[in-house]
Amino acid sequence: MALPPRIDKGLPKRDKPKRPGDSKAHLDFIRSLPCCVTGHTPVDPHHLMRAVDDRPKGAGRRHEDRWAIPLSRATHEAAHANGDDEAFLAAHGIDGRALAESLWRAFNKHEDPEERLAAGLRIVSRCKQVARV
């Protein structure tokens, strides 16, 4: 009995096309910030599910990195478990879209890493101050 042909695992993987809002450096910037809900570190970049078109992205189809916000691992899991991250963030007094937009602007405005980090910390701090009111 003949064996089926093997698939060569050395084949090159097809690169996904780079989208304009994707940036590994921006995700590293997000990881350098405290969680916008709890203030804890370390954080995961959470990509908002309804960032642009009010239609949720499915599994494996996330929005661009520009729509990422810092969430601690436990908070990130809670946001996904909730199913509606905007409602989850709103319950904590946070506008996820506005936060993501502010962080993206700060990332692109400041080339110096220290200035960028200081701007990001101010943005997250103000987000949390608004949430307490």
CA 18 vs CA 46, 62, 106, 113: distances in Å: 19, 13, 21, 24
Higher-pLDDT residue of 112, 2: 112
Average pLDDT over residues 75-90: 88
Only one residue has tokens 């436990």, namely 74
Q: Where are the domains of the chain?
A: 24-51+64-132
Rounded Cα–Cα distance for residues 109 and 26 (Å): 12
Give the pLDDT band of residue 57 (cuts 50, 70, 90).
Answer: low
Q: Would you state the structure tokens that stand for residue 111, as one six-digit string?
A: 């080339």
- Given a contact cutoff of 8 angstroms between Cβ atoms, the answer to whether 96 and 69 are in contact is yes
**Amino acid occupying residue 63:** H
